[in-house]
Structure 1
Amino acid sequence: MNKILVTGGNGHLGKYIVNALLEKGFKTAVLTTQTNNSVQNNIEFFTGDLFENHGLKEATAGAEVVIHCASNPRNFQQIDIEGTKNLLQAIDRNSIKHFIYISIVGIDKSDYPYYQGKLEVENIIANSGVPFTILRTTQFHDFVLNMIKALESQSAEFDSITIPSGLRFQSVAVQEVAALLASLVFEFPKGLMRDFGGPEVLHLEEMIQTYFEVIQNNKNLTLNKPEDIRHKLFTTGINLCPENNGGKQTWKEYLVNIHHKTE
């Protein structure tokens, strides 16, 4: 296998994908907006900008596989939609064998703007003529933990933490998603794959109780009706795929693991 390019390879998911590819012995390249990059730890870095269409020809030259992880929920029109169009136009059609894209479970069932943007990107890829695989996953454990910490911070001065009611998650380990994406390099393009989710569906209240148990926090919970558009999204169940629960690491195992690392 010749060059594999990972966009967003310096991001949270991208770093794990790059490590998984290196462990398999693949020649790996990363497209990044950072400057002054070269070859480090067997990774070749290319400076470029998806929206500005800068450096994409150089980054994609000779790439047989592209794993596209770059995304920006706050600026998805430019980075996700226009950036993906530019990336696909830059790809050498004589070299590319597989274009792999990470997406989100439920984007086809929601009018949430970022989800609609991700769905548009899926359609752009599917209609590009490039051999592709799209993998939709549930939210990462880290995503839920960051949400909990934000709610915790808002209630820092009180004896209880106020949370939106009715939210459910099927969170999954980012390392498992990265390993699955890296394994697709060996596979023929699959189009839209089956969804991939964590091993359990939990209410946010349960997840916070487990979090408090692990960190030994005795705060009580106060439930409020969700008002935030994103919070409301997670009450609908569209972010779940209980029939596709291929993830192994549970929420509690994740919390215990990171808690031990910080001790």
Structure 2
Amino acid sequence: MTLVLVTGGTGHLGRDIVDRLVIAGHRVRIFARLPGSRTDVEWAVGDLATGDGLREALHGVDTIINAATHSPIARRGGFRPVDFVWSPSAVDVTGTERLLSLAREQSVRHFLHVSIVGLDEATLPYARAKLAGERLVRGSTLPWSVVRAMPFYYLLDKLLSGMAWLPAWPVPTTVFNPVDTSDVADYIVTCAFDGAHGARADIGGPDALSLTELARQYQRARGLRRKILPMSLSETKARGMGFVVCNGVRGTLSWSDWLLRQYVDARVAA
């Protein structure tokens, strides 16, 4: 039975990945700072940022899915001025480098790294850290795969919920196609065991919509009435902020259906 180590296995995407691995019959070991409550996986306690516990966590591992990241913007659900000048790199760069080094020592057979679509033109410090970590993987002598995904629906939800108190929302008209973690998890698990390596096709959501339309759909689902002020961004600025359209693999769950599950169905059930 294949033993798979998942970093970031307690996050939104990580939980979906772990669920699919368990259903597929793989042994799963989650590397996390604290053990969780589920009993159908192994827990390896440690910290990717410091390396504590990592060597022990890799013992006997065949495949690594590196879904760990540290994005202050995602954690708080909004931007602060510091996000435009600095982002921590201990997990995404130093942690990835350490993980690759120890994986080589353990002769890991496949290292799958989760990344973000559009990093080559993105200018935010977090994106630059993600790109630096990805380049370490691409330069590794290990058999590797890189899967780039569009931003996730739950992150867009957090960003828009942070604007709910505003009477008017300034929103770019830029088009992009965010994606649900469930679709990304399906694709990642497929890539982990299909026998191929290298840079994989990017994955995004099924619909490319303007941010203003995404915001309108969000307001309808939440029952909010806020004026939307469309903002025009140049293509260069939009790409610098990560607003691109993924033309690779497309997920199946739309933003409108995701919102229906999160808000409309939840209200009915209550």
Coarse TM-score class (shorter-chain normalised): 0.7 to 0.9
- In 2, the alpha carbon distance for the partners of 1:204 and 1:98 equals 37
For structure 2, which runs of at least 5 residues remain unmatched after alignment? Answer: 73-86
What corresponds to 2:187 in structure 1?
Answer: 180
Q: Is the alpha carbon distance of 1:183 and 1:245 closer, same or farther for their aligned partners in structure 2, counting shifts above 3 Å?
A: closer
- In 1, the alpha carbon distance for the partners of 2:163 and 2:266 equals 21
1:131 aligns with 2:143: yes
What corresponds to 1:229 in structure 2?
Answer: none
Per-residue CA deviation, residues 128-187 of structure 1 (Å, 9 max, x unaligned), is 21101100111111111111111223x1xxxx3222333433011110101111122322
What corresponds to 2:55 in structure 1?
Answer: 57
Q: Please state whether the residue corresponding to 2:113 is helix, strand or coil.
A: strand
CA shift for structure 1 position 234:
4.1
- In 2, the alpha carbon distance for the partners of 1:110 and 1:207 equals 21
CA shift for structure 1 position 39:
8.3
Per-residue CA deviation, residues 100-133 of structure 1 (Å, 9 max, x unaligned), is 1110000011222111111111111122211011
**Aligned amino acid, residue 197 of structure 1:** G
Work out which of the residue numbers 246, 258, 263 in structure 1 matches 2:262: 258
What corresponds to 2:46 in structure 1?
Answer: 48
Q: Please state whether the residue corresponding to 1:249 is helix, strand or coil.
A: coil
For structure 1, which runs of at least 5 residues remain unmatched after alignment? Answer: 227-231
- In 2, the alpha carbon distance for the partners of 1:233 and 1:215 equals 29
What corresponds to 1:97 in structure 2?
Answer: 109
1:164 aligns with 2:168: no
Work out which of the residue numbers 59, 68, 71 in structure 2 matches 1:70: 68
User: Please, what TM-score do these two structures have when normalized by structure 2?
Assistant: 0.85
- In 2, the alpha carbon distance for the partners of 1:17 and 1:125 equals 20
After TM superposition, the structure 1 = structure 2 runs for residues 167-246 of structure 1, keeping only pairs within 5 Å, are 167-223=174-230, 234=238, 239-246=243-250
Q: Is the alpha carbon distance of 1:186 and 1:258 closer, same or farther for their aligned partners in structure 2, counting shifts above 3 Å?
A: same
- In 1, the alpha carbon distance for the partners of 2:48 and 2:259 equals 35
CA shift for structure 1 position 258:
1.0
CA shift for structure 1 position 219:
2.8
- In 1, the alpha carbon distance for the partners of 2:216 and 2:93 equals 38
User: Please, what TM-score do these two structures have when normalized by structure 1?
Assistant: 0.87
Q: Do the aligned residues in 1 keep the contact of 2:179 with 2:205 (CA within 8 Å)?
A: yes
- In 2, the alpha carbon distance for the partners of 1:189 and 1:115 equals 26
Q: Do the aligned residues in 1 keep the contact of 2:121 with 2:240 (CA within 8 Å)?
A: no
What corresponds to 2:78 in structure 1?
Answer: none
What corresponds to 2:83 in structure 1?
Answer: none
Q: Do the aligned residues in 2 keep the contact of 1:98 with 1:189 (CA within 8 Å)?
A: no
CA shift for structure 1 position 51:
2.2
- In 2, the alpha carbon distance for the partners of 1:166 and 1:260 equals 26
Q: Do the aligned residues in 1 keep the contact of 2:176 with 2:245 (CA within 8 Å)?
A: no
1:7 aligns with 2:7: yes
What corresponds to 2:76 in structure 1?
Answer: none
Matched-pair identity in %? 25
CA shift for structure 1 position 92:
5.3
Q: Is the alpha carbon distance of 1:242 and 1:40 closer, same or farther for their aligned partners in structure 2, counting shifts above 3 Å?
A: closer
- In 2, the alpha carbon distance for the partners of 1:208 and 1:111 equals 24
Q: Is the alpha carbon distance of 1:222 and 1:235 closer, same or farther for their aligned partners in structure 2, counting shifts above 3 Å?
A: farther
Q: Is the alpha carbon distance of 1:51 and 1:218 closer, same or farther for their aligned partners in structure 2, counting shifts above 3 Å?
A: closer
- In 1, the alpha carbon distance for the partners of 2:99 and 2:106 equals 15
- In 1, the alpha carbon distance for the partners of 2:28 and 2:215 equals 38
- In 2, the alpha carbon distance for the partners of 1:94 and 1:59 equals 11
1:84 aligns with 2:92: no
